Amino acid sequence: MGVSDFRVVLVGGDGDGDGDGGGALEQWRYVHNVVVPPAAMAFEEARERLARGYRLENAYDGDVLVGCATVRPVVDGVVTVIVRVLPGYRGRGFGTALYEHVVGYACVPGVEAVETCVLGVNEDGLRFARRYGFAEVERYVLDGESDEWVDLRLVL
């Protein structure tokens, strides 16, 4: 299989998107937690993202879950886009396809920049962001934690 079998599915506003009581949101949460284990979240925390207006999507290669994306609401001309690809599917074009998909609708009139956040040890994610022109804005460690995060920005 390749990206020709690639598809993206919106996680529904009711938390499931597929009528099975939370399956799509649980898949989104699974990818999130694998890619960013220091920020692992419970199901209710993921559901809260939907309630805050985040657009959550799952990416598939045919029927196989390969990644997920988060697009936060625009604030002061900036949209935050986070693309996550499971480690076993990286380097095969899925990240590019998912990124292009979300940026295609996230960059609405009035958006002046796109931001993303990457776990500092995720060299694949940092390389990916830099390849698309994102520049590092800040590195930080959250209070009481030890993991480094990197915020990056792409000015449009």
User: In this structure, is residue 40 part of a structural domain?
Assistant: yes
Kindly report, residue by residue over 25-58, the tens digit of the pLDDT.
999 999 999 999 999 999 999 999 999 999 999 9
pLDDT in tens, 101-136: 999 999 999 999 999 999 999 999 999 999 999 999
Res. 17 pLDDT band, cuts 50 70 90: very low
Q: What is the pLDDT of residue 146?
A: 95
CATH code for the domain in which residue 77 is found: 3.40.630.30
Q: Which residues pair with 154 in a beta bridge?
A: 114
Domain extent for 32: 3-110
Has residue 149 been placed in a domain?
A: no
152 belongs to a structural domain? no
Q: Is 143 helix (H, G, I), strand (E, B) or coil?
A: coil
21 located within any domain: yes
Residue 122 within any structural domain of the chain? no
DSSP-assigned beta bridge partners for residue 119: 149
Specify if 51 maps to a domain: yes
> Is residue 16 scored above 80 in pLDDT?
no
CA separation, residue 16 to residues 25, 36, 39, 46, 62 (Å): 5, 21, 21, 11, 19
Q: Can you point out the beta strands (E) in the chain?
A: 6-10, 55-61, 64-71, 78-85, 113-119, 135-141, 148-155
**What's the one-letter identity of residue 92?**
R
Question: How many domains is the chain built from?
Answer: 1
Residue 151 lies in a domain: no
Q: Is the pLDDT of residue 1 over 70?
A: no
pTM of the model: 0.90
Identify whether 62 is part of a domain. yes
pLDDT of residue 2: 55
